[in-house]
Amino acid sequence: MASSVPARRAACLALAAVTLAACGSPQDASTSAQPSGAYTVWDPYPQFDKSSEWVKLLDKCGTQAGVTVERTGYDTTDLTNKALLAAQQGNAPDVLIVDNPVVSTLAEAGVLTTTEETRTDTSSIAPNLLAAGQSGGKTYGVPIGANTLALYYNKAVLDKAGVDPASIKDWATLTAALGKVKGAGKKGITFSAIGTEEGSFQFLPWFWGAGANLTKLDSPEGVSAVALWTDWVKKGYAPNSVINNTQTTSWQEFATGDFAFAENGTWQLANAKKTGFDYGIIPIPSKAGGTAPAPTGGEFVSVPVQSDTARYATSQKLVACLTSADNAYTTDTTLSYIAATEAVQAKQVSATPELQVWVDAVKAAKGRTSDDLGTKYPKISEPMWGAVQAALSGSKPPQEAMTAAQSAAASAIQ
């Protein structure tokens, strides 16, 4: 890949909407040479230290491959920028584990090898999950697992309102349930509509569930999704706070016990068990019925480009070890992820039956950069979350907000 400051800046700008990151200088990346007999692994799990199961697995995979693993954990934003800068200096790690929405940007920047180059087997990976790491017909890594969104519900609140969660099949039945909850003196639903990628992430199940496409934000289907959220806020089914809610603050609202529903992810399962009230989980419904496609979260295990291509064989062994069935089960349990293969998903459900709803949600899920959007996605997402904010705040009606968003997105991706 050509090394220049303008190129580096352009790559960082393309990442900004997804990573919320600022660009650094070339000195941000380590300039030390690859240690002899050691293979470097960078991951976005700084919360795990040497005593964790994750780091023990890295060491185990290194031992099996006959090398020593030198591992560094960065936060997601820092990791992406350092990967770009290190690649330009010819000092990329041997294995890079990175958030799936930025895979296509790193690939386009020439940072990553394809699975064909490294002879990585992807045949057992669910196609919809693999798609998040594909660009231009090529695959740039293997998903380590996935998380996504569903609706948590408070059983006591629904019982008081006379709502059977099994009756919620589409938008109409969900909205009717919210009306009953409000009528019973409780609060309806909370979610995150903040003006960041987090807001887009939470909006997408409703957008895609209406049958809308990211290349046409102002379609009748897309507008109907914004109108749904807007009507909920106007009717008091959802609080005004959703405009500023992150997924964390939205969860905190649900944890008070006053809300019937919360849109949130697999990562809240442990917190759900600490709420002190009985809860359940249902898929996010599509407008006309069935499970809505929710966006996939989670990381890809990838192999960055090296000047010494002979290193790829060992890097591939590390990737294969980290994503093998037995190891994936342990890792995905640690990360609260659903596995990327049906065999491991079945093992997860067998051990924890309540994960079935999440497995179903992941099977219906979709990568944000899928449909070959790649680096176009961040340029679409930002105007989309801006339109949602405008509609929810009342500054623009849904149609006007999405028409403006489509115009901005079209200009940005020309």
| Rg of the chain, C-alpha, whole Å | 22
pLDDT tens-digit map of 36-86: 489 999 999 999 999 999 999 999 999 999 999 999 999 887 898 999 999
State the CATH number of the domain containing residue 10: 3.40.190.10
On whether both 285 and 310 belong to a single domain, the answer is no
- What pairs with residue 73 in β-bridges? 43
62 within domain boundaries: yes
Nearest to 249 by CA among 285, 291, 196, 186: 196
> What secondary structure letter does DSSP report for 282?
E
On whether both 262 and 399 belong to a single domain, the answer is yes
On whether both 37 and 61 belong to a single domain, the answer is yes
On whether both 97 and 160 belong to a single domain, the answer is no
Average pLDDT (140-156) is 96
Inform me whether the pLDDT recorded for 32 exceeds 80: no
On whether both 169 and 279 belong to a single domain, the answer is yes
367 within domain boundaries: no
Inform me whether the pLDDT recorded for 18 exceeds 70: no
Q: What is the mean pLDDT of the chain?
A: 90
On whether both 325 and 257 belong to a single domain, the answer is no
pTM of the model: 0.86
192 within domain boundaries: yes
In 49-111, where do the E strands start and end?
A: 68-73, 95-99
On whether both 208 and 247 belong to a single domain, the answer is yes
On whether both 261 and 323 belong to a single domain, the answer is no
Pair of tokens at residue 226: 């914004």
pLDDT tens-digit map of 231-261: 999 999 999 999 999 999 999 999 999 999 9
317 within domain boundaries: yes
Pair of tokens at residue 317: 């062994």
pLDDT tens-digit map of 274-304: 999 999 999 999 999 999 999 999 999 999 9
On whether both 344 and 388 belong to a single domain, the answer is no
Total domain count, the chain: 2
**Residues of the domain holding 197:** 149-295+372-412
Q: List Cβ neighbours of 251 (8 Å cut-off, separation of 6 or more).
A: 262, 264, 268, 271
As a whole number of angstroms, the distance between CA 410 and CA 3 comes to: 29
